């Protein structure tokens, strides 16, 4: 059911793990549930990998 | 995760959360411009010490393509990191994913050890976007995350208790005692036990504003003081001086012969960059300790002395 919902939102689960996942694991391990994020100016056109949801890529 | 329109907002949200809850919060920022904006929030940190963990996605060459590791621009990356070093307790950039857990654990400990303050961790985009080829060991769950508090030197604290007990009109001046919610009640207990008025500078709310022993906003308590006990975050917090407008002369309201006891983190946070401390008080007793520990201990020492001394009992 969860998988179906995620796929409906366009999010394809992946078994691959990325280095940014280690940072997220640490945030959980140290009970840091909240993060305030600024994604940088649009001129840079950047994304922060751990802050966005990707399909097969952490971007 | 809260998306903020400005880095300053992100940092201040994390700061406010930490002040209110006593728990740290992460602010994620981009390199250079993001970091420079965040510093505005960090400047305030110097005055309102609390824990925050900054993370940064680093992409030093400013292009959309992730640069290979050998093309990292040390000048630009270094400018950002070097710039924040003066505002944070620690900063570090792990260059491999295996270095992340250990540095994260160290950062958490440094940040949460009193006196608390922000740390700055740099996670390069190149590092973050690598596919994990092997399992990365997390810090052991049984390991202590934060060291125990700094306790006072018992003999120095006994000297402080003797000096306060001998004083005719002691006054407490407090600045950051209330940063720790636990310490708020302990300071009330001390003031009531020894009958000492409290002047709260209100850097934090350290003493109830409607308590009969609260003398904040009035300098009169210091004019006849025979001992002042300063509990501070930084060194040498003294009562607000008095300005004589006609001569523009600034005078201390404390009598020259008054004794000084200072309990707190002393010079631990003294910075060569920011002058947020005052002129040095040449104290008679200086005790470096976490006030959350030291105040209840001092209360016990004073209670023993009061029980044996009728003069003290009458003062209280």
- Would an 8 Å CB–CB cutoff place A8 in contact with chain B? no
Out of A22-36, B50-64, B66-80, B248-262, least confident range = B66-80
pLDDT tens digits along B195-208 = 999 998 888 889 99
Q: What is the mean pLDDT of residues B94-117?
A: 91
Per CB-CB distance under 8 Å, the chain B contacts of A20 are: 123, 128-129
Q: In the predicted model, is pLDDT for residue B88 greater than 90?
A: no
Could you tell me the pLDDT band of residue B5, with boundaries at 50, 70 and 90?
A: confident
- Which has the higher per-residue pLDDT, A21 or B84? A21
Q: A50 to chain B: which residues are within 8 Å by CB?
A: 28, 128
Q: Give the per-residue pLDDT at B176.
A: 85
Compute the distance between CA of residue B79 and CA of residue B60 in angstroms, rounded to an integer: 10
Mutate to test the interface with A, among B56, B80, B132 (most CBs of A within 10 A): B132
Report how far residue B55's alpha carbon sits from residue B86's, in angstroms, rounded to the nearest whole number.
16
Q: List B residues 197-256 in contact with A (Cβ-Cβ < 8 A).
A: none
Distance (Å, rounded) from C-alpha B224 to C-alpha B253?
9
Q: Is there a contact between B194 and B316 (Cβ–Cβ < 8 Å)?
A: yes
Quote ipTM for the complex.
0.77
CB-CB under 8 Å, B1 with A37? yes
Q: Report residue B217's pLDDT band, with 50, 70 and 90 as the boundaries.
A: confident
Residue B120, pLDDT score: 85
> Is residue B28 over pLDDT 90?
no
Output the pTM of the full model. Answer: 0.77
Q: How far apart are CA B194 and CA B204, in angstroms?
A: 23
Which residue among B108, B128, B141 sits closest to A19, beta carbon to beta carbon? B128
Residue B28 tokens read as 């994620």
Q: Average pLDDT over chain B, rounded to whole?
A: 79
CA of B100 to nearest chain A CA: how many angstroms apart?
Answer: 7
Give the distance from CA B83 to its chain's centroid: 21
Residue B316 above 50 pLDDT?
Answer: yes
Question: In this structure, is the dihedral angle defined by the CA atoms of residues B92, B93, B95 and B96, taken in order, positive or negative?
Answer: positive
Q: Could you report how far apart the first and last alpha carbons of chain B are, in Å?
A: 52
Structure letter (DSSP) for residue B153: P
CB of B128 closer than 8 Å to CB of A58? yes
């Amino acid at each position: 059911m969860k998988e179906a919902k995620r796929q409906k939102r366009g999010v394809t689960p992946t078994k691959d793990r990325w280095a940014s996942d280690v940072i997220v694991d640490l945030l959980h391990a140290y009970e840091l549930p909240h993060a305030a994020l600024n994604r940088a100016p649009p001129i840079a056109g950047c994304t922060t990998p751990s802050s966005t949801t990707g399909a097969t890529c952490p971007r | 995760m809260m998306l903020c329109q400005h880095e300053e907002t992100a940092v201040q949200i994390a700061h406010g959360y930490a002040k209110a809850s006593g728990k740290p919060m992460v602010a994620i920022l981009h390199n250079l411009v993001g970091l420079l904006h965040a510093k505005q929030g960090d400047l305030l940190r110097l005055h309102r010490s609390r824990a925050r963990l900054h993370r940064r996605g680093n992409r030093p060459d400013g292009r959309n393509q992730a640069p290979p590791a050998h093309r990292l621009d040390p000048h630009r990356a270094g400018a950002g990191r070097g710039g924040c070093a003066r505002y944070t307790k620690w900063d570090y950039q792990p260059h491999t994913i295996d270095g992340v857990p250990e540095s994260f654990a160290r950062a958490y400990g440094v940040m949460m050890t009193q006196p608390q303050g922000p740390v700055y961790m740099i996670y390069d985009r190149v590092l973050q976007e690598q596919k994990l080829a092997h399992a990365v060991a997390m810090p052991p769950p049984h390991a202590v995350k934060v060291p125990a508090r700094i306790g006072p030197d018992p003999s120095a604290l006994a000297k402080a208790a003797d000096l306060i007990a001998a004083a005719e009109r002691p006054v407490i001046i407090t600045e950051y005692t209330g940063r720790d919610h636990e310490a708020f009640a302990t300071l009330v207990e001390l003031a009531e036990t020894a009958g000492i008025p409290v002047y709260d500078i209100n850097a934090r709310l350290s003493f109830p504003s409607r308590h009969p022993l609260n003398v904040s906003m009035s300098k009169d308590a210091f004019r006849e003081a025979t001992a002042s006990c300063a509990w501070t975050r930084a060194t040498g917090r003294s009562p607000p001086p008095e300005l004589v407008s006609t001569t523009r002369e600034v005078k201390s309201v404390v009598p020259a012969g008054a004794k000084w006891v200072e309990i707190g983190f002393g010079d631990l946070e003294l910075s060569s960059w920011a002058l947020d401390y005052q002129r040095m008080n040449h104290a008679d007793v200086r005790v470096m300790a976490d006030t959350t520990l030291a105040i209840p201990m001092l209360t016990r020492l004073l209670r023993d002395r009061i029980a044996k001394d009728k003069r003290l009992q009458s003062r209280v």
